[in-house]
Structure 1
Amino acid sequence: MKKLTSMADLEGVRRALKEQRLDAERAEKLRIEAEKKRDAEARLFETHVKDVTPLPQINRKLHNLPKPPPIAHQREIDDENVLRESISDEMDVERFLETDDKLSYRRNGIGLEALKRLRSGKWVIQAQIDLHGLRSDEAREAVGEFLRSAVKHDIRCVRIIHGKGLGSIGKEPVLKDKVKRWLVQKDEVLAFCQAPPRDGGAGALLVILKAKQQ
């Protein structure tokens, strides 16, 4: 899998998300126009046949026509949720974090040994994304797309570089806490911790992802 390490890569992710949204909007517009056209044709037909006397129902045979296939409403909802990335920036993440100096996280059922191995470098970083230069909403969408793509390609360990906030107003890390909130809410994430100094230290997180479902 290609690593998302440059602004060009991130721009490609944003473009893809924008095109998906535009496609969805165009499809919805076409659906509404088609419904309006059908309603207009139905009214026109009723106007023309309102004075017609039906034929007597003699020797009429009813045919059992095959039912149309069901509409995949759940898939439409899932696709919509993917585009919207409905994860909260306001979630209280502290109650989910381990009370250590790194404020790490592990989902229920994930043993402490997994975090120890992550911190010690036993998990090989297979992909990474750098969020420098992105606004909060752009970073949220980029992280969501990155995680989905990683799981799709069966990538189990990634690094998310959120920065230390040295270039922001007040020198406060804007994305650091938000990224943790987003990750806690993502089903793909099994555990994460602050990266060791050689991998970005306080400016990055190492994340363990669930395995790809076969």
Structure 2
Amino acid sequence: MTINNYSLLSLIFFALALLVKSVPAIDIWFLKALNSLMFSKVFFSYFTELGNGLICLAIIIPALSFLSFNTELNNVKVQTLVIVGLLVGLVVKVLKELASFSLRPGFYKYEDVNYLEPIFSYNSFPSGHAATILGISLVWISQATKNKSTKHSVAIASVLLSLAIFVSLSRVIIGAHWLSDILGSIAVAFLILNIIELKAMKEILFTNNLSKYISYFLIGISWLYIISQGTVY
């Protein structure tokens, strides 16, 4: 894997994450500052789940693929985004295991922080929600707008990127993660952008029929789970 722009950005954000995490006062300051923006627990209880893997699989991925297929943008196949989501989940799982000592804001129970339930205390770094929505969004933008520079494509990309960033920051707003966790998630997203450029990934991501059918199957399973459980937890 050569050091390209995506690799460099991934390294930069990972270094920033470690730097911020090494100075707890920075994380605490941003936690309290962003937490003050939680104007409605009801709104954020739904909004923050746009980064949940199940929601991305059941709704976000099909919607983005449909959008690219029905506009002037390049068509981004469902299987591409599903595999990206799985790759993000794998990388996040490994990092959480390596950083299992990383505690969430909920562990400290700050009296001046308004936490959104359910409150978790462990496996803070990185944020799975943030990494998932950012990874899927950045890959979609990179593929859908490749060689496209119209005002329409720029507008769509800007709206999606803004949404992904807001969803990511909502993890800090609700007291579920630190800013350093979000920076780590951005690093993961850029790492995924680099991985999908590997020659070995091309067929799996774009042309393999088995990948396509497995992706449809997983989307169906995600809908069955959400409907049967009535929740994404």
Q: TM-score with structure 1 length normalisation?
A: 0.27
TM-score, length-normalised on structure 2? 0.25
Higher relative contact order (CA 8 A, sep 6+): 2
**Higher share in strand:** 1
More helix by share: 2
Larger Rg over CA atoms? 1
